[in-house]
Amino acid sequence: MQHPSVEQGQRIPRHVAIVMDGNGRWAKRRFMPRIFGHKHGVDALVRTVQACADRGIEYLTVFAFSSENWKRPTDEVSGLMSLVLVAVSKYLTKLEKEGVRIRIIGDRAAVSERVRAAWQQAENATAHNTRITLSVAFNYGGRWDILQACQRALALGLRPEELDEVRLSQLMAMGHAPDPDLFIRTGGEVRISNFLLWQVAYSELVFSDCLWPEFGEAQLDAALRDYASRERRFGGVPDAQPQALRA
Ligand code: IPE
Ligand code: IPE
Ligand code: MG
C-alpha cells in the first residue's frame, strides 16, 4: 500500500544514501558533549529506516563512521565504538522484526573484536529479511572501496580485459545493491566527504541544513519531493534509463 505522504504516481527512489552529519553541532547547541549528539543520531537513524521502509524504499545506505573519522579526539572515537554496541543491543530485535536486512560496509580489520562481533550479530540476525536493506558504512571510505575492489580483482587473478565496470562494481562494498538514486547530506556542508565515490556517479544530490539528530519523516519527505521533481538523464535524453551495471 502506498504511504499517505507519497503522492499518486510520485517517483520513489529504490536506493537512498545519507551522510548523517551534524551530530556534534546539534549537541554543542545544547551545551552537551558531542557523543550526546551521536546517541540522538542513532534514534534518528532508526526513525529514518522505518520511514524509508514505509515508503517502499528498498535500500538505505548511511555513513556512520568514515575512514578519516579516526582523526577525532580519542574519547569521541571510543564513544562512537561503544555506541555501536549499545545501538545493536537496543535496536537489533526491533529492526529484525520490521524486516530490515543489515549489511556493514567498510574495513573491519581496524575495528575492535567486540565491534566486529556486534556487526556480525546484526548481519546474521537479519540475513533472512527482505523488506529493506540497511547498509551501514563504518570505517568506510570511497577511495578505500575502489582500492579494495581492485585488490580483490588482482587476487582473483582477473586479466585486464576481464575487468570492466560491471565486474568492478560487483567487487565493491555495495555490490549487493543498485547505485543510489538519491544522495542526501544533512548538516549544511555541501560535499561528499569520501562517501560512495564510485556509486554516486548519477545520483541526485540533496543537501539539507537540518542537523542529523533532527532528521525525520518531514525532512525525508521533502527530499523525496525534491527527487521526484528532478529530470534524470544519465548523459542521454530526458527519461533515459541508467546503463545496467549489474545483472
Ligand atoms: C556526523 O556528525 C557523525 C559522524 C561523523 C560520526 P558529526 O560528528 O560530524 O557532527 P558535526 O559535523 O561536527 O556537527
Ligand atoms: C562525514 O562527515 C562522515 C560521516 C557522517 C560519518 P564528517 O563530519 O566526517 O565530514 P567532514 O569532515 O565535515 O567533511
Ligand atoms: Mg561532521
Q: Across the chain, what does the average pLDDT equal?
A: 96
- What gap in Å lies between CA 243 and CA 225, rounded to an integer? 24
Question: How much is the average pLDDT of 119-144?
Answer: 98
Question: How much is the average pLDDT of 98-114?
Answer: 97
Atom of ligand 1 nearest to the CA of 26: 14
Probe target for ligand 1 pocket from 19, 20, 23, 212, with the most ligand atoms within 8 Å of CB: 23
Question: How much is the average pLDDT of 165-176?
Answer: 98
Residue-by-residue DSSP string for 5-18? TSPTT----SEEEE
- What gap in Å lies between CA 235 and CA 180, rounded to an integer? 16
Q: Taking 90 as the threshold, does the pLDDT of residue 142 lie above it?
A: yes
Q: Tell me the one-letter amino acid at 105.
A: I
Distances (CA, A) of 182 to 19, 156, 199, 239, 241: 11, 32, 11, 16, 15
How high is the pLDDT of residue 247?
42
Domain boundaries, the chain: 15-143+180-245
21 ligand 2 Cβ < 6 A: yes
How high is the pLDDT of residue 68?
98
pLDDT confidence bin for 163, thresholds 50/70/90 = very high
Helix (H) or strand (E) holding 182: strand 182-185
Reported pTM? 0.96
Segment 224-242, tens digit of pLDDT: 999 999 999 999 988 777 7
Among protein residues, the one with the nearest Cα to ligand 2's atom 12 is 193
Q: Of the residues 21, 145, 179, 181, which is catalytic? A: 21
Topology of domain 15-143+180-245 in CATH is Undecaprenyl pyrophosphate synthetase (3.40.1180)
Segment 52-89, tens digit of pLDDT: 999 999 999 999 999 999 999 999 999 999 999 999 99
C-alpha cell at 193: 566527504
Segment 192-225, tens digit of pLDDT: 999 999 999 999 999 999 999 999 999 999 999 9
How high is the pLDDT of residue 239?
73
pLDDT confidence bin for 244, thresholds 50/70/90 = low
